Chains A and B, each alone.
Chain A
Amino acid sequence: AQSVTQPDIHITVSEGASLELRCNYSYGATPYLFWYVQSPGQGLQLLLKYFSGDTLVQGIKGFEAEFKRSQSSFNLRKPSVHWSDAAEYFCAVAPSNTGKLIFGQGTTLQVKP
């Protein structure tokens, strides 16, 4: 069965520091991959997505993610974190053309001043 794992439940970084959130998926073929961000009590906003082509994907708010087929990973990165980046981050896969998403457990990002 398809699955998504975000190994880090909670991460704390200092403002201005770099960030990497990990995501691993289990799927037989290359799925569609997504990163979403959720602020407290709110819905989800798409940060970026990967379907095919260049394995380094640029997203909004200065985020990027790299698809590594050999590692079944799609880690999210940002070179310099801002206090407003504090939120819950979800990695997700869409293993077929149905539009259904399978979400990881989420990673809570806390930013220290």
Chain B
Amino acid sequence: GAVVSQHPSWVICKSGTSVKIECRSLDFQATTMFWYRQFPKQSLMLMATSNEGSKATYEQGVEKDKFLINHASLTLSTLTVTSAHPEDSSFYICSARPGLAGGPAGGELFFGEGSRLTVL
């Protein structure tokens, strides 16, 4: 099946630094990718929709200046946590759906393995 890969799988950083997380679709193209955040023992919360070649669409309450999203190509989206603080520590998961804009609705989403961020 289709594979979505995230890198790094875990990262520890100091407060105030910025961290970049990559999400790659290895064997398919996707104009749209999604970024989710998961707090410990909680559900996943959609943060933003990453659109290739255009600005990301952020969900209500998500700071776009804190969580920078760049969808540079049809196989790569990046999430940069800027000036990270301990409260940004979380498990970040991306997903992607094979296909281009206008493709079949409700197609299967493939999830990355997640990236665990710990901010000291």
Contact = CB atoms under 8 A, between A and B. Distances in A.
B111 A44 contact: yes
Contacts of A44: 44, 93, 95, 111
A36 B116 CA distance: 19
Interface in B11-51: 32, 34, 36, 42-46, 49
A51 B108 CA distance: 11
Interface residues of A, number: 22
Interface stretch (A15-23, A74-82, A90-98): A90-98
B61 interface: no
A103 B4 CA distance: 19
A11 interface: no
Interface of B: 4, 6, 32, 34, 36, 42-46, 49, 93, 95, 97, 105-114, 116
Interface of A: 32, 36, 41-46, 49, 51, 90, 94, 97-106
